[in-house]
């Protein structure tokens, strides 16, 4: 059978999707992200919107098929679904998110039915980033995995992160691909196009040298506890006491630290079940050693049915934070009653938590308030800046044990590092099985614990004050600018078409 031009570009769309994912952790071939988009954007030229949608979908299958393959581990190994059900649900998950690059392809060609040269240089990256925003923040409470800016933490483009955040930086990465494609395909305006690329990347390098925040106190000694309790053992009632004693013993070895952080739901019991006999004595011991503990556990609200995923401070101050941004299909069930019926039929039981209030006061430890995030709450920049400039550092507690020995813990740490850069704050990230890390305000990993090992990570952080430009403005100006730019370009293209 003859391999047609369409087959060739369809095949390249899948390959480019795989290359795109290789730009992210743990592979970290950052420059493959714009290369992948160069191939994808080239495949969208001079074809119908429907064909561009197909190629965008094939790109999504390649990208998400590799990039979120860890969903299978969560469903099969820990959700206890059978092989067929796990494969089916993982396929549906990948297939659903692949719709978004498909939509980007359709809209790009619909707006630009033929290659319009300089216009297409801007329009396609704008559409790409608006679709990333739609996927990452609005659909199903947001799924920000594999958004292009996360792949650029080690490139000069990272200099833009404290200025324009995730989406502004992502636009510049996508624009790099679009301009590069234009240079490859035509000799027109090549000098101008090349100059634009040089300016974008050189400016990013210059911005990397700017420190947007400043120290506001003496360094704080901190310890992060990585208990390494496997997910299949964590919630067994017979293991509860041993788990609590395990964390208590590891903590007692570090009373010389001002702040000690435990990972997400490190206490496998509700607050009401352990408060009197475990938490109160532990809090008293922390006060005696002039230490603040940050622990995590589920907590009831006003009734047994009102449940929260929570973080609690013990020691000099006792307060609680209730998770606001819940994980769909993990902590709550969207698309009810259909989703509940399907998962119940497959024998998969998931949580049913409530969202905490948006305006919760900041928790305090080590003498300073901090911004708290639980699990994938650290994937949302707009929410990560609430509490600034009062917060002196960031704390994220996570349980990536759901995903076993996969690429997910590395991807999640990469996402968390973005929040440190956006806010100009140190980040303390305590996880159950890894990746536990202390991250500097520039996103560099100061120290990291090995995965799947019961261990502690001790270091120092400096409380930071001040505001980055992004922390002052959030994503709103960038998204509105993209929408306005897209509208102007659509009007311009229509006028060109009307003139023939």
Tens of pLDDT, residue by residue, the chain (500 residues): 344 567 889 999 999 999 999 999 999 999 999 999 999 999 998 899 999 999 999 999 999 999 999 999 988 887 778 899 899 999 999 999 999 999 999 999 988 765 556 667 889 999 999 999 999 988 888 899 999 999 999 999 999 999 999 999 999 999 999 999 999 887 777 888 899 999 999 999 999 999 999 999 999 999 999 999 988 788 888 999 999 999 999 999 999 999 999 999 999 999 999 999 999 999 999 999 999 999 999 999 888 888 999 999 999 999 999 999 787 766 665 655 544 444 454 444 556 788 899 889 999 999 999 999 999 899 998 888 989 999 999 999 999 888 989 999 999 999 999 999 999 999 999 999 989 999 999 999 999 999 999 999 999 999 999 999 999 999 999 999 999 999 988 887 777 777 75
Q: Which of 234, 331, 375, 408 is catalytic?
A: 375
Q: Answer yes or no: are the C-beta atoms of 486 and 126 closer than 8 Å.
A: yes
- In whole angstroms, what is the distance from residue 234 CA to residue 268 CA? 7
276 counts as catalytic: no
pLDDT at residue 338 in the model: 47
- Give 228's contacts (C-beta < 8 A, 6+ positions apart): 432, 433, 434, 452, 453, 454, 455
pLDDT at residue 468 in the model: 98
Longest dimension (CA), the chain: 81
Q: Answer yes or no: are the C-beta atoms of 200 and 172 closer than 8 Å.
A: yes
Pairing relationship of beta strands 292-300 and 259-261 according to DSSP bridges: parallel
pLDDT at residue 353 in the model: 83
- Give 94's contacts (C-beta < 8 A, 6+ positions apart): 60, 61, 64, 65, 68, 71
Which one, of 149, 162, 161, lies nearest residue 467 by Cα?
162
- In whole angstroms, what is the distance from residue 226 CA to residue 399 CA? 10
Cα dihedral across residues 475, 476, 481, 487: positive or negative? positive
pLDDT at residue 1 in the model: 33
- In whole angstroms, what is the distance from residue 188 CA to residue 237 CA? 70
- In whole angstroms, what is the distance from residue 371 CA to residue 196 CA? 37
Instruction: Convert 255-267 to b/e letters by CB count within 10 Å (16 or more is b).
Output: eebbbbbbbbbbb
Q: Which of 132, 234, 264, 422 is catalytic?
A: 264
Token digits of residue 36:
């992948």
323 counts as catalytic: yes
Rg (CA), the chain: 24
Q: What are the sequence ranges of the domains in the chain? A: 5-211+490-498, 214-467
End-to-end CA gap in the chain: 40
- In whole angstroms, what is the distance from residue 490 CA to residue 484 CA? 10
Pairing relationship of beta strands 214-215 and 445-448 according to DSSP bridges: unpaired
Numbers of helices and strands, H then E, in the chain: 18, 14
Q: Which of 323, 377, 383, 422 is catalytic?
A: 323
364 counts as catalytic: no
Q: CB 441: neighbour CB atoms within 10 A?
A: 24
User: Helix 161-185 crosses helix 476-498 at what angle (to 10 degrees)?
Assistant: 30
Going by CATH, does the domain composed of 214-467 fall within 3.30.1490.100?
no
pLDDT at residue 114 in the model: 58
């Amino acid at each position: 059978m003859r391999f047609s031009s369409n087959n060739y570009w369809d095949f390249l769309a899948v390959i480019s999707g795989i290359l795109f994912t290789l730009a992210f952790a743990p592979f970290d071939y950052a420059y493959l992200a714009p290369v992948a988009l160069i191939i994808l954007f080239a495949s969208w030229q001079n074809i119908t919107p429907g064909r561009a949608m197909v190629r965008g979908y094939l790109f999504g299958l390649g990208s998400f098929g590799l990039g979120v393959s860890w969903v299978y581990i969560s469903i099969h190994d820990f959700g206890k679904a059978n092989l067929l059900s796990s494969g089916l649900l993982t396929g549906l998950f990948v297939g659903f998110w692949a719709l978004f690059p498909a939509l980007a392809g359709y809209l790009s060609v619909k707006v630009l039915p033929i290659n319009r040269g300089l216009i297409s240089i801007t329009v396609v990256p704008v559409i790409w980033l608006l679709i990333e925003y739609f996927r990452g923040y609005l659909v199903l409470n947001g799924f920000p995995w594999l958004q292009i800016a996360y792949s650029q933490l080690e490139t000069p483009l990272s200099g833009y992160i404290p200025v324009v955040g995730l989406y502004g930086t992502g636009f510049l990465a996508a624009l790099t691909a679009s301009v590069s494609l234009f240079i490859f395909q035509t000799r027109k305006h090549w000098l101008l196009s090349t100059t634009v690329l040089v300016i974008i990347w050189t400016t990013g390098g210059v911005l990397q040298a700017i420190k947007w925040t400043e120290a506001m106190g003496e360094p704080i000694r901190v310890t992060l506890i990585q208990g390494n309790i496997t997910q299949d053992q964590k919630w067994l009632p017979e293991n509860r006491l041993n788990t609590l004693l395990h964390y208590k013993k590891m903590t007692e070895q570090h009373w010389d630290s001002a702040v000690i952080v435990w990972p997400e739901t490190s206490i496998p019991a509700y607050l009401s079940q352990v408060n009197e006999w475990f938490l109160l004595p532990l809090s008293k011991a922390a006060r005696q050693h002039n230490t603040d503990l940050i622990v995590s556990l589920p907590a009831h609200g006003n009734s047994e049915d009102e449940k929260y995923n929570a973080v609690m401070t013990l020691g000099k101050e006792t307060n609680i934070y209730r998770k606001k941004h819940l994980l769909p299909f993990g902590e709550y069930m969207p698309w009810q009653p259909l989703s509940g019926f399907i998962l119940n039929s497959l024998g998969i039981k998931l949580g049913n938590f409530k969202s905490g209030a948006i305006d919760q006061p900041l928790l305090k430890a080590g003498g300073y308030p901090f911004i708290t995030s639980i699990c994938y709450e650290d994937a949302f920049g707009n929410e990560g800046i609430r509490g600034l400039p009062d917060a002196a550092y960031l704390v994220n507690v996570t349980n990536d044990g759901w995903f076993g020995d996969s690429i997910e813990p590395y991807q999640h740490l990469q996402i968390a590092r973005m929040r440190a850069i956006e806010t100009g704050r140190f980040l303390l990230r305590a996880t159950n099985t890894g990746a536990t890390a202390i991250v500097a305000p520039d996103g560099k990993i100061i120290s990291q614990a090995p995965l799947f090992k019961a261990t502690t990570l001790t270091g120092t952080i400096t409380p930071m004050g001040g505001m980055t430009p992004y922390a002052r403005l959030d994503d709103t100006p960038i998204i509105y600018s993209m929408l306005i730019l897209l509208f102007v370009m659509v009007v311009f293209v229509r006028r060109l078409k009307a003139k023939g």
